[in-house]
Copies of this chain bind each other. A is one copy, B any other.
Amino acid sequence: MEVNRGECIDLKRERETSTIVSEDLAVWWAGGRVQLEERRALERYFFNNPEFDDAVPPSCLSYKERYEHVLAKGTKFIAKLREWQAKDKQAQQQDKDSVDLQLIYEFRTLLSGPLATALFQQSFPLRLHFAMFMPTLLNQCNEEQQRRWLTRAWHMDGIVGTYAQTELGHGSYIRGLETRADYDVEEEEFVLNTPTISAYKWWPGGLGHTANMVVVLAQLYIRGKHHGLQTFLVRIRDEQTHEPLPGIDVGDIGPKMGANGVNNGFLGFRNVRIPRDQMLMKNAQVLADGQFKQAAHPLLIYGTMVFVRVIIVRDVMFQLLQAATIATRYSAVRHQSPIDPNAKEPQILDHLTQQVKILPQIARGICFRLAADVLWAFYQRVMKQLETKDGSGPLAELHALSCCLKAVCTQDAVEGIDVLRKSCGGHGFMASANFDSIHGLAAAAFTYEGEHTVLLLQTARFLIRQFTDSLKRKVLPASVTYLRNAAPLSWGDNLLENAARALEISATGQLRDAWQWQQEQRQSHSRTEHQVNNLAGRRLAAAAALHGHAYLARNALQQLEQLKRSTNQGLFELLQQQVELFILDTFQRQLGAILKWNSVNGQQLKQLEQRYEQLLGILRPNAVAIVDGFDFHDRVLGSTLGCWDGRVYERLFEEARRNPLNQETVNHSYHTHLKTLLQPSKL
């Protein structure tokens, strides 16, 4: 059997004949040459270290073995990352004893970025210590508490923490949480309890067997009076022995569809006491005598939620493009089903039906990126405004936009990853293809940090307010200005402008329909406002989703204007084609809504569809070079089908050979079970 160790012929030819420069795209994609080289250096630092290789494919491990494996690897990862940062920072002569905010943010980014993807694929249990536990301490401790906890937590000095909000019985509707903290005035302590089975904390990452301290959301009661949800810092495991402390019932919630490295846990309290100063007191205080003081700036809490959603848009964009890279390379290596029965079987990427599965997903990922960048800049601008003056106006728009894009982008990314997986046929179904892990992470993001439908309905509430404002001819925020434009579609020469405008008109039409439906329900029946909203729910959610698609299309067009100035011609053309494909693809996918709310004739539709198919043909020859430009390291892709060298079949085999089941030619269960069945005497 010939095993070729170099780049396979197909990919070599693809790269040689491409008309774009992948490295130009890579530099732009990374945000600059320096950033690109930094990331590459960091990746080399880890990937050249054999400590981080897996002896056994993690998908072959038991759930328990997988935990042990990722905890060991995660521990080494944190230690090495500290070494790397220390080296990096020494040059800048920073004070290493104080907690550096910038450092925490950098750390958090590193723990969620491509490097961590490469090392863990399904995440790991120490991530939330930095991603949620530390930020909560930063945001919600008063100064004294910060002094006491922050440096220790940063150094993990006896502390590994997580954030416990969601309960078995309550997710999206956090006011329904049942865990309670009763203040005991005599002892100056809070007493935590889990009153019912549905009140158990359920889901926090790292909670199962890893964290020894937890930030807990619980309903505060003082002398039987309810004071809303507050945040408490609770030690749950002994600092030395790691045994759960008295009254603590903690464990792992078990295997999931994905993200199986997280060690998600459950947690119950039975009369667990903590001192008064372990309620996080920045936003609300309980004094020794039981007096309660609210001092919150609720907008700041709001801000954290927005932040997480902004990050998620970026995460799923990466996941979608990982999947697209794998599918593109595989489709250039796989030969199947002759187009001409007398010719050799072509690369499957030559089939138009394959192009239409893959190329629009690349375009989609790139346009998600254009939106994620804008959203991030918007977030930073609003946060800065909040520090100085009242920024509640832009905050509402930011909140709505982040809800909407989180919902729409996770939905489309999950769907896209699935299309890409299916485009790889049977081999896409193998765990070693890694679509499974990628899909699992994106599918989790679809639900967590604001369930999909809940977020669309929140967006719709904002849109309905804007819509009624538009009827009063008020000025609207930038992202919804189009709601004021009542003109019907006027089909011009610019196909993309036609398509983007048609999407906006559809969103407006759908929103008006939902609003009118609410009005009708109000007038003709004796329904409460809440029943009215429920009955309009499906229409409101549809309007919010259409708004998201319209926004993504319009934003991509606007960003193109900027890019014309900031990129070289080759790169600009590439991005222009991607934006074009994205908008035409969105138009096709939303065709029902478009034709419902616009008048587009057969000739116009034909023109658009022809251009769409033509574009696929134009982009086909550069497909491999484009995905090369995302510069995903083979370890990040983690896929037998997607590696740079295209040695697909060899890698599928190598991975199968590493399976512990294949280390013996005969499994012992043949002797203990199967053999008995195969004896003729058995009858």
Partner-B contacts on A (CB < 8 A): 1-3, 57, 59-65, 67-68, 71-72, 75-76, 78-79, 155-160, 166, 168-173, 176, 194, 196-198, 200, 202-203, 208-210, 212, 237, 239, 241-244, 251-258, 266, 268, 334-341, 345, 350-354, 356, 418, 421-422, 425-426, 428-432, 435-436, 443-444, 446-448, 451-454, 457, 528, 530-531, 533-535, 537-538, 541, 588, 590-596, 602, 605, 613, 649-650, 652-653, 655-657, 659-662, 665-678, 680, 682-683
Contact = CB atoms under 8 A, between A and B. Distances in A.
Contact of A447 (B68, B72, B429, B668): B429
Contacts of A172: 336-337, 425
A595 B594 CA distance: 10
Contacts of A173: 336-338, 345
A435 B266 CA distance: 21
Contact of A592 (B157, B595, B670, B680): B595
A210 B670 CA distance: 8
B67 A661 contact: yes
Nearest to A675: B242
B168 A649 contact: yes
15 contacts: A60-B64, A60-B255, A61-B62, A63-B659, A68-B667, A68-B669, A71-B669, A171-B336, A173-B337, A242-B670, A243-B666, A244-B665, A251-B662, A266-B653, A596-B602
B67 A256 contact: no
Scoring A244, A345, A453 by chain B CB atoms within 10 A of each residue's CB, the highest score goes to A453
A192 to B, nearest CB: 15
Contacts of A653: 168, 197, 200, 266
Going nearest first, the 10 A-B pairs with the smallest beta carbon separation are A591-B592, A595-B595, A62-B62, A255-B431, A592-B592, A340-B530, A59-B255, A353-B537, A251-B662, A60-B63
Contact of A426 (B71, B447, B588): B447
A348 to B, nearest CB: 10
Interface centre among A59, A340, A353 (most CB of B within 10 A): A353
B454 A337 contact: yes
Contact of A656 (B252, B448, B677): B252
A120 to B, nearest CB: 15
Given A176-B345, A649-B197, A266 B656 contact: yes
B425 A538 contact: no
Contact of A535 (B72, B613, B672): B613
A457 B674 CA distance: 42
Contacts of A671: 242
Given A176-B336, A252-B659, 7 more contacts: A64-B661, A71-B670, A172-B336, A239-B678, A254-B659, A255-B431, A595-B595
Contact of A453 (B208, B237, B353, B676): B353
Contacts of A541: 353
Contacts of A650: 197
Given A62-B660, A156-B677, A530-B341, A669 B67 contact: yes
B425 A534 contact: no
A99 to B, nearest CB: 13
Given A75-B673, A352-B534, A454-B337, A242 B425 contact: no
Contacts of A538: 352-353, 356, 613
Given A209-B670, A661-B209, A57 B254 contact: yes
A677 B197 contact: no
A198 B649 contact: yes
Contacts of A426: 166, 171, 203, 447-448
A285 B261 CA distance: 55
A672 B72 contact: yes
Contact of A60 (B62, B590, B593, B678): B62
A534 B453 CA distance: 39
Contacts of A659: 63-64, 251-252, 254-255
A157 B676 CA distance: 10
A268 B444 CA distance: 39
A296 to B, nearest CB: 20
A156 B1 contact: no
Nearest to A158: B678
A356 B197 CA distance: 29
Nearest to A160: B678
A506 to B, nearest CB: 11
B68 A680 contact: no
A438 to B, nearest CB: 11
A428 B452 CA distance: 14
Contacts of A675: 242
A89 B541 CA distance: 57
Given A159-B678, A242-B670, A2 B337 contact: no
